Amino acid sequence: MIGDQKLKKPFLEKPINAEDHEIYIHYSGNSPGGSGYSVLFRKTEDNCSQFFPTNGKSAIRTDGSYLYEEFLPTDGFDIKVYTVGEDYAHAEARKCPSLDGKVQRDKTTGKEVRYPVNLSSWEKEIARRVSLEFKQEICGFDMLRS
């Protein structure tokens, strides 16, 4: 509960401190992995998240300030968008870190595997607006297709 509003699981718990990259995804007992939470963190070698079962107990953090957001399911990919000016956007997809906590890497280069993505006209417009609003000639952000 947040005030008088109930947030249904799954949901995200993000630290307000932008330097803190430990984002929690809280799951209910009827989620595929059961009741628990995943911690998303900066990539370390081949890991980017870890699941912790809670057996129905709360794992909501109370040691700081957090934002709470609805969890948006995707087709298993995050889209990384990069803009150069307001008229050019490049996009590529990578496996979602919440799927299994493993980073998919190219065996030859060791780099994270990414796939080219064609943006819809609406997604291109979103990229243009992000670039303009943040007044950044070069800008990168994540986009989810849900």
Residue pointed to by tokens 């699941």: 51
The closest alpha carbon to 94, from 84, 107, 83, 81, belongs to 81
Residue 16: the pLDDT is 96
Residue 122: the pLDDT is 96
Q: Is the pTM of this model over 0.85?
A: no
Q: Kindly report, residue by residue over 58-92, the tens digit of the pLDDT.
A: 888 999 999 999 888 888 888 999 999 999 999 99
Those residues whose C-beta lies under 8 Å from the C-beta of residue 41, and which sit 6 or more positions away, are 21, 22, 23, 47, 48, 49, 50
Locate 55 and state its tokens: 């057996």
Between these two residues, 66 and 57, which has the higher pLDDT value? 66
Percent of the chain beyond pLDDT 70?
99
Count CA atoms closer than 13 A to 18's CA, side-chain side. 0
Residue 124: the pLDDT is 96
In our burial notation (b when 16+ CB lie closer than 10 A, e otherwise), range 103-133 reads beeeeeeeebebeebebeeebbeebbebbee
Average pLDDT value for residue range 82-107:
89
Q: Kindly report, residue by residue over 3-37, the tens digit of the pLDDT.
A: 888 888 899 999 999 888 899 999 887 776 778 99
78 and 92 Cβ atoms separated by less than 8 Å: no
Residue 1: the pLDDT is 74
- Map out the domains of the chain with their CATH numbers: 11-70 (no CATH), 77-143 (3.30.470.20)
Residue 137 buriedness (CB in 10 A; 0-12 / 13-18 / 19+): exposed
Residue 3: the pLDDT is 80
